[in-house]
A and B are shown apart, each in its own frame.
Chain A
Amino acid sequence: MNTIQRVSPTNLFISWASIAAALSLASLAAGYMAFGMIIYSTISFILNLAISAVAAWPVYRYYFHKKLSMDDEQFTVEIGRREKVSGRWSEFDEVSLMHFGRGRMGIRLYYRDKDDFVEIPASDLKLDASDLRFKAIELTKKGQASNGKQG
């Protein structure tokens, strides 16, 4: 019988979720020890949770929430409210598949005329990075062809 053993890489997101769950239970226990009554500690815990959720939501939206909109001509990537990049497919000539670490995949588009690039975090957007790469290659080629015709 063949034995298969696999060790997954540490998933930091799940680790943080586990820490948050343990912290919640610890704060519930701390509330019980402070107030001596389960009803007060539960109310305090629910209040803390609600305040944390309200405080965390804008932080998440500002720093982490990602959006991608694209058509055959152009695309726009937004990372929170701090970063917004738009581009036309015809501006790029090379497309690569990127591994950003911890299982996150995406694509990198290199500008044709300058030494710079734009990254689209495909797996954060629940997109297949490989499919997106081939789609981007097709669209950049199409953009270059139409540029060539115009020129």
Chain B
Amino acid sequence: MVGKARWVADFTESFRNYSVGDIIFDLVVTGMTRPKGLLLSRIYAYFFTPNYRVACLALSVTPKLGLDRYRLAGIVRAVEKFMSRNKIDWSWIVLAKEDAFSEPLKSFVQGYRAQEIGVALLDLSSGDMTTSSSYLGKNLEKYARPPKAK
């Protein structure tokens, strides 16, 4: 692993080029929020940490994808189906692109309020990140640190 990481969940399974509906995500990782640990940390986690099944789906946005707010709404719906099929409680969707996202798309994401899904638009050229306004979306600002603009 290169770079810094923050503990978010105990991700145990990872897929490359994983199909969710008609979208192929570059990376999908799934896991649980409860850490394993040895004895004391396991007991602590059992009593104080909720054991939610979580997933993080990352997609590199290309012009071919034709990403606008309707397309993004379709992606979110596909992720919702993926979550109910796999009994996943929380998901993060990270869409990364080499240039800026359009303003209508950003305002769509900022207005997205579903509590179980956090959405982030990551502009890799400037390092700007736009997240949905739910708790999970706001947390992405801490977890997914965008690279510093050169």
Q: A residues touching B (Cβ–Cβ < 8 Å)?
A: 10, 94-101, 108, 133, 137
**21 pairs of residues in contact across A and B, judged by CB atoms under 8 Å:** A10-B38, A94-B15, A94-B18, A95-B15, A96-B13, A96-B14, A96-B15, A97-B13, A97-B14, A97-B15, A98-B12, A98-B13, A99-B11, A99-B12, A99-B13, A100-B12, A101-B12, A101-B36, A108-B13, A133-B16, A137-B16
Residues of A within 8 A of B38 (CB): 10
Q: B residues touching A (Cβ–Cβ < 8 Å)?
A: 11-16, 18, 36, 38
Besides A94-B18, A98-B13, A99-B13, 18 new A-B residue pairs in contact (Cβ under 8 A), listed by A number: A10-B38, A94-B15, A95-B15, A96-B13, A96-B14, A96-B15, A97-B13, A97-B14, A97-B15, A98-B12, A99-B11, A99-B12, A100-B12, A101-B12, A101-B36, A108-B13, A133-B16, A137-B16
The smallest C-beta distance from A108 to any residue of chain B, in angstroms, reads: 7
A10 closest partner in B (C-beta) = B38
Residues of B within 8 A of A133 (CB): 16
